Each structure stands twice: as C-alpha cells, then as structure tokens.
Structure 1
C-alpha cells in the first residue's frame, strides 16, 4: 500500500492582500470608477463646450470659471477611468491606492461643484465615496477569503 507520508507537502500560507485574487468589491469599485470617470469627463466637456448649460452662481466662496471647472472634471474623469482600468485588469496594490486618491479628489471636486449642477454632483459624490469604501475594505476581504 503506497502512502504520501514521505512526500513533502507545501506549507499553507495566508493570502497576501497585495497579490490576492480580485473580489467582488474590488470589481464593483473598478466598474464604478470607470462609470464615474466617464460621467465626470462628460460633465467637464459640457462645461467647456457650453457655459450656458450650467447655473452660474454669484458670491460663491469657491468661485471659478466654468471652463476651469470643466478642465478639472475632464482631468479627474480621465484619471478615474485609468484607475478603474488598472484596478479591474491588474488589481495590484498601487492601483487601489491610486483609485482611492483619485476617487477622494473626485468627491471633493464634486462637492465644490454642487452649486452648478447639484443632482449630478450628489450622484458622483456618492459613487466616489462608495468606491473609496470598496477599495479600502476589498483588500482585507480578499485576504480573508483565500
């Protein structure tokens, strides 16, 4: 009767969140980053293309030209899409940190954008906060699941 008693067995290791398989939370965060980045990009294009689409407020503390806000949203939108693609296709730790940073900046920029387009800004703030939450908790969830 043959046994495996003499063969060395590989030691069970705990999964490393830096090389863990991508969980559902991380995939959700990546898809939301791509969606939110596309929305921010189109929001920026609308602000640059036609200034009469948005309400121009007077005496706003963070007063900035609509063209300037448009370029801010275009840059953040492109960065969010790039971060979402990096998280979705690689899932490495630097992509998560980059996604957290860009989504945080996106939430902050949309908070300052509230007087110009309140409903759209609130939706993007919620999306960006959900992305930050999912990326922050996804690595721990993936490490425990393995």
Structure 2
C-alpha cells in the first residue's frame, strides 16, 4: 500500500516566491499605496507652479518645479514598492524601507513650503519604516 502525504502543496520555493501578507507588513504596503499618490499629487502641484506653496528663505530651497519632479518620482517609487510589499515579493520590503526613508527626508526638507502636508506624510512614512522593519511572525520562527 502506498503512503499518502497529508501535506498541502506549497508551490515553488525560490527567490521570488510570495507569501501571504498580513499584519504590519500588509499595513505598510497599504500605507505605501496611500503615501505614493499623495506624493504624486504634491509633485503635480509643484510642477504646475501652484500658488498653494509658501515661498521663504530656506537652506534647502529649490525651484518649485524641481521639488515637483522630485516628489512625483518618489511617489511613483512608493507605489511600486507598495505593490511589491502587498504582493509579498522579497524585494518589496527592502524597497519599501528605502523609498519611505527617502520620502521622509524629502518631506522634512519640504516643511517650509507646506508644513501640514509634509508633517502628515512624514508620519505615514515613519509608520511604513517601522512596520517594515518589525520582525514578521515567520521570520521570528526561523523560516
């Protein structure tokens, strides 16, 4: 009589294998997908030369269009990283941490132009970094 296995098929295991995303990682992925479009909208406003932003003497003063393109590019990178995290890709976590940290720094530099927006997005970016750097339950069990 042949022995049957009670194991559930796991699928291919490799560098691009996806796992079920839950908890803090899912929160970070969704928050990346929220922070990205916010940065894209901020970038579009800057590129359009919107009068929404205050102008002042500041050490990190760039042309508003340059700030717009910078925020637009970071926003797209945040969305791509968010999709990677939500899809459970192995590169998503590292990309999410990196891009959220870059976004946090650029938002800090942008505070004089639009403080309420910058501080809000900085808080989102900080939550993303915190969520992605936590040990997941599978990591803490040695998987």
Q: What TM-score results when the alignment is normalised by the length of structure 1?
A: 0.81
1:43 corresponds in structure 2 to 42
Q: Which residue of 1 aligns with 2:117?
A: 120
Q: 1:83: which partner in 2?
A: 81
2:84 touches 2:91 (CA, 8 Å); kept in 1?
no
Distance in 2, matches of 1:142 and 1:19, equals 13
Q: How many residues align?
A: 131
Task: Confirm or deny: 8 A CA contact 1:20 1:142 kept in the other structure.
Answer: no
Specify which structure has the higher proportion of helix.
Answer: 1
> In structure 2, do the counterparts of structure 1 residues 144 and 23 end up closer, same or farther at CA, with 3 Å as the change threshold?
farther
Name the residue aligned to 2:104.
Answer: 107
SS at match of 2:51: helix
Residue of structure 2 equivalent to 1:52: 51
Which residue matches 1:71?
A: 69
**1:45-89: per-residue Cα shift (whole Å, max 9, x none)?**
01111342210112x111111100000000000000010011101
What is the distance in 2 between the residues matched to 1:104 and 1:112? 13
Residue aligning to 2:95: 98
Task: Spell out structure 1 runs of 4+ moving beyond 2 A.
Answer: 6-10, 18-21, 139-146
Give the match for residue 20 of structure 2: 21
- Determine the C-alpha separation between the residues in 2 that align with 1:9 and 1:34: 38
Note closer, same or farther for the CA distance 1:8–1:74 as it changes in structure 2 (3 Å cut): closer
Is 1:33 paired with 2:47? no
Higher RCO (CA-CA < 8 Å; seq separation 6+): 1
Corresponding residue number in structure 2 for 1:3: none
RMSD of aligned C-alpha atoms? 2.3
